[in-house]
Structure 1
Amino acid sequence: MSSIADNLGSVTRRIQKATLHAGREPGSVSLLAVSKTRSAEELRQAVAAGQRAFGENYLQEALEKIEALSDLTEIDWHFIGPIQSNKTRQIASAFSWVHSLDRLKVARRLSEQRETGLPPLNICLQVNINNEQSKSGCQPDELPTLIEEISQLPGLTLRGLMAIPDPEQTESALRESFRKLANTLKKLRQDYPEAGPLDTLSMGMSGDLEIAIAEGATWVRIGTAVFGERSPKS
């Protein structure tokens, strides 16, 4: 059985190879290790192997791991799950990135509840790129209003867009979904130069990271390829 360190090495090589193949700058794509349902000990092993950024979906589980790993000050915590309004205070305090913002109400709460001594919270707006009823995310045509409003809020920095395309698509359709998100970000950057860096595309997972990188991903969110298959629920 491969160790987490071995898996991280393999994923890192995949990212480097895909980045080179796409003609992009080395180091322009970062690995976000998706650690939902994984133990604090597994994360500790990943940190020992050089991983620093971890993505969590479930707030209570994440807070327990953040506490258990509080001695590892180099960890960068990213919240990537749906955000309930009554959970924003803890998210605003414990994380440095949020990839899953899709409502102005939640943005305002995160802004109000971000402690003044902390650096601004990095925000990606989640886009429902394939208009799936079961998926979170705003519609692309809602982005201009969201960006105009959110860019005025203190304590937040707009970094870019996130999407989880329909995994049942053909490869060509999946590529088009990633390309659509990248083109959307490019236009927003042109139309709203004062809104924030808008330099981030959070897209691509274990099975499609090469396609995502070819289409411009800057963060790829990888869980299974790093930690192995999850144990079936009892």
Structure 2
Amino acid sequence: MSLKERIQHVEERIWAACDRSGRNPGEVTVIAVTKYVTTEMTRSVLESGITHLGENRPGVAVPKWEALGGQGVWHFIGHLQSRKVKDVVGKFQYIHSLDRLSLAQELDKRAAAAGATVNVFLQVNVSGETSKQGITPGEAEAFLREAEQYPHIRIIGLMTMAPEEEDPERTRPVFRRLRELRDELNAKGVTKEPITELSMGMSGDFEVAIEEGATWVRLGTLLVGKGEET
């Protein structure tokens, strides 16, 4: 399929998932994960009307960002090393992988120096898989209370990755638990402003994630295909 056809196909599936769960499709934003495609393909994604781009390696993403003149809204969606924060702040408007207080401190320091505020998602390892980054659900409240001391990061939501399953339905408990955790934290008033966003769901399970409350879905191959990195 062409890019246009893939986008239309994804939009139809999002609308159907929202219809099944009684949600407004306007509540769901697609992040095109462009980490495996060329700068030219990324430009085509932007020209198609999709403005949110997801990358996970500064060494690959920054040259792409520069070549595109900073067009689009950039999301860092992979594990972020503290020493790479300087390359990310000022280019990426969203960080989806806050998983330790030392990273929060470094983000805050770099954002303060840049006179900016960075929107971040707290990464929660709901499934408990050792292969995945993130804090446990039980650590979230204490983490958020500690993170309040960093004024230049704004924790707007939670992020998780579900296990890879042949049957997407098996991922539902993971997505449901993240939504429940968000609601529990808000009910306790843990943060100054309510946490509203849920970054969850990828190409194989995004419909289930939407049915469980996802507000951001991260779609790579299904949406943009797969090619050589530049």
Q: Return the TM-score normalized by structure 1.
A: 0.92
Aligned equivalent of 2:125, options 122, 125, 128? 128
Partner of 2:36: 37
Partner of 2:46: 47
* Larger RCO of the pair (alpha carbons < 8 Å, separation 6+): 2
SS at match of 2:90: helix
Separation in 1, partners of 2:40, 2:15: 27
What's the offset of the Cα at 1:189?
1.1
Structure 2 residue 103 is matched with structure 1 residue 67: no
What's the offset of the Cα at 1:220?
0.6
* Contact map agreement 2:36 2:226 (CA 8 A) in 1: no
What's the offset of the Cα at 1:152?
2.6
Q: Do the aligned partners of residues 48 and 171 (structure 1) sit closer, same or farther apart at CA in structure 2, a change above 3 Å counting? A: closer
Amino acid of the residue matched to residue 185 of structure 1? R
What's the offset of the Cα at 1:168?
3.1
Partner of 2:155: 158
* Contact map agreement 2:90 2:114 (CA 8 A) in 1: no
What's the offset of the Cα at 1:118?
5.0
Q: Return the TM-score normalized by structure 2.
A: 0.93
Please provide the CA RMSD for this pair: 1.8
Aligned length: 229
Separation in 1, partners of 2:149, 2:29: 28
Separation in 1, partners of 2:153, 2:70: 26
Partner of 2:25: 26
* Structure 2 spans left out of the alignment, 5+ residues: none
Q: Do the aligned partners of residues 37 and 172 (structure 1) sit closer, same or farther apart at CA in structure 2, a change above 3 Å counting? A: closer
What's the offset of the Cα at 1:26?
3.2
What's the offset of the Cα at 1:116?
5.7
Q: Matched residues, percent identical? A: 38
Separation in 1, partners of 2:32, 2:13: 14
* Contact map agreement 2:57 2:78 (CA 8 A) in 1: yes
* Structure 1 spans left out of the alignment, 5+ residues: none
Q: Do the aligned partners of residues 139 and 225 (structure 1) sit closer, same or farther apart at CA in structure 2, a change above 3 Å counting? A: same
* Contact map agreement 2:201 2:208 (CA 8 A) in 1: yes
What's the offset of the Cα at 1:117?
5.7
Aligned equivalent of 1:181, options 178, 183, 186? 178
Q: Do the aligned partners of residues 112 and 146 (structure 1) sit closer, same or farther apart at CA in structure 2, a change above 3 Å counting? A: same
SS at match of 2:208: helix
Amino acid of the residue matched to residue 8 of structure 1? I
SS at match of 1:94: coil
What's the offset of the Cα at 1:95?
0.8
Structure 2 residue 87 is matched with structure 1 residue 90: yes
Q: Do the aligned partners of residues 13 and 119 (structure 1) sit closer, same or farther apart at CA in structure 2, a change above 3 Å counting? A: farther
Separation in 1, partners of 2:166, 2:101: 30
